[in-house]
Structure 1
Amino acid sequence: MPRRFTEDTLVVASHNPGKVREIAALLAPFGLARVVAAGDLGLPEPEETGSTFVANADLKARAAATASGHPALADDSGLEVAALDGAPGIYSARWAGPGKDFAVAMERVRTALGDAPDRAANFICALCLAWPDGHTETFEGTVFGDLVWPPRGDKGFGYDPIFRPTGHAITFAEMDPAAKHAMSHRAAAFNQLVAACFGVSR
């Protein structure tokens, strides 16, 4: 049986403000007394040495839980492009360079694709909830779509301006945040998390 979350403080093990905002919004209905970002606690960012999204989420969650003494939730997510054999994948953030400039990352994707006709892509998200005693629960979600150029919209972050989910005419960055939250890869993983650890089906 998955372990239930019963504490009143949760650390979001991320230094990405956009990701922290999305996770905080998804956590809002659960009335946690305190949701705090790892960056606000001054926790260091561990090196992401895992070979999968799940492995990287696990190591980030464990590091934050150990350092803070509170349960920690980590997300590792990225863009997988079919014509690029799944790249940038776990290296999605690194494609943005040391300055984390996703305009650079999106241009790198466009250049790598060149004239390839296949623009299919998906976002994938792995979530790991870790407790200070070392116990973890992990979940994974995916959303499929295709890539568009030029980038469109200013509501999202990361690769959102070039990702158009299947069945929609607009990109994630053009969507109202609530609409994105209802269908995103992060939401898919989060729905599994809350059902297992918060006892709520969404």
Structure 2
Amino acid sequence: MKILLATKNKNKIAEIRAIYQGIANLELLTVDEKPFSDVAEDGQTFRENALKKAKAICKETELAALAEDSGLEVEALGGQPGIYSARFAGEPTDDRKNNEKLLQRLKREPNRKARFHCSAVLALPDGREFLAEGTLEGRIASEPKGKSGFGYDPVFIPNGFSKTMAELGQETKDRISHRRRALERLRESLQTLCAGTNG
């Protein structure tokens, strides 16, 4: 079964490939193999954005499309940056500037609670849709640390750890991330769909 990954973010593509490796009869395609148009992420929730993206790209390409929308929700900021996580510091998106703005906003804030949230949607050409959500609870560090990962990984410390996601490394991140949790919840549906196809 061919599934088009509805993202142009190479870091997300690598993470999704790592999570779904080993599923029989599954071929993950990227924008390089099957180009698609940008979809405006103007929903009010991660779920709305993921659903809109998956459905639009499925319709445009006539292929099953897997989309996800994710971001960071900080308790002391009322859930911000939320759906605006990638462009928190403005356009064009810049991870370093986003992290700087976040730390500046939390400078004297004792409440550092935060969570990563991911909504993943698989849209099929026959109209069926599969949705899964995943979260990772944690807190915001006082300064960026670590070299691996992307986005807010250098400032996010998951519960149960004393290091940021960027310090923990890709292997640990792939095991505990909000994206993995959402995508793992889609895994059974994917395996069933792939078992019923020959490519």
User: Do both proteins adopt the same fold according to a TM-score greater than 0.5, normalized to the shorter chain?
Assistant: yes
Contact 1:145/1:165, CA 8 A, preserved across alignment? yes
Counterpart residue type for residue 186 of structure 1: R
Equivalent in the alignment of 2:179: 186
Question: Which of 128, 150, 153 in structure 1 is aligned with 2:146?
Answer: 153
Closer/same/farther in 2, CA of residues 137 and 148 from structure 1, 3 Å limit = same
Distance 2:116 2:62 in 1: 31
Question: Which of 131, 151, 155 in structure 1 is aligned with 2:124?
Answer: 131
Answer yes or no: is 1:168 the counterpart of 2:161.
yes
Equivalent in the alignment of 1:112: 105
Deviation (angstroms), 1:195? 2.5
Answer yes or no: is 1:77 the counterpart of 2:66.
no
SS of the aligned residue for 1:41 comes to coil
Deviation (angstroms), 1:52? 0.8
**CA-atom RMSD in angstroms:** 1.7
Question: Which of 50, 55, 58 in structure 2 is aligned with 1:57?
Answer: 50
Counterpart residue type for residue 62 of structure 1: K
Name the TM-score, length of structure 1 as normaliser: 0.90
Deviation (angstroms), 1:89? 0.4
Deviation (angstroms), 1:169? 1.3
Deviating beyond 3 angstroms after TM superposition, the runs of 4 or more aligned structure 1 residues are: none
Counterpart residue type for residue 128 of structure 2: H
Count of aligned residue pairs for this structure pair: 193
Counterpart residue type for residue 108 of structure 1: K
Deviation (angstroms), 1:96? 4.5
Higher relative contact order (CA 8 A, sep 6+): 2
Offset from partner CA, 1:149-181 (integer Å, 9 cap, x none): 321112101111100100111111112322111
Structure 1 alignment gaps of length 5 or more: 1-7
Contact 1:38/1:64, CA 8 A, preserved across alignment? no
Return 166-175 or 121-130, whichever deviates more: 166-175
Closer/same/farther in 2, CA of residues 193 and 33 from structure 1, 3 Å limit = closer
Counterpart residue type for residue 91 of structure 2: P
Return 108-117 or 86-95, whichever deviates more: 108-117
Deviation (angstroms), 1:38? 3.0
Structure 2 alignment gaps of length 5 or more: 193-199
Contact 1:14/1:39, CA 8 A, preserved across alignment? no
Equivalent in the alignment of 2:170: 177
Distance 1:96 1:44 in 2: 24
Return 80-89 or 142-151, whichever deviates more: 142-151
Equivalent in the alignment of 2:84: 91
Counterpart residue type for residue 20 of structure 1: I
SS of the aligned residue for 1:83 comes to helix
Equivalent in the alignment of 2:134: 141
Aligned ranges for residues 20-39 of structure 1 at < 5 Å? 20-38=13-31
Offset from partner CA, 1:93-122 (integer Å, 9 cap, x none): 121432221111111111222301011100
Identity of aligned residues (%): 38
Distance 1:35 1:136 in 2: 17
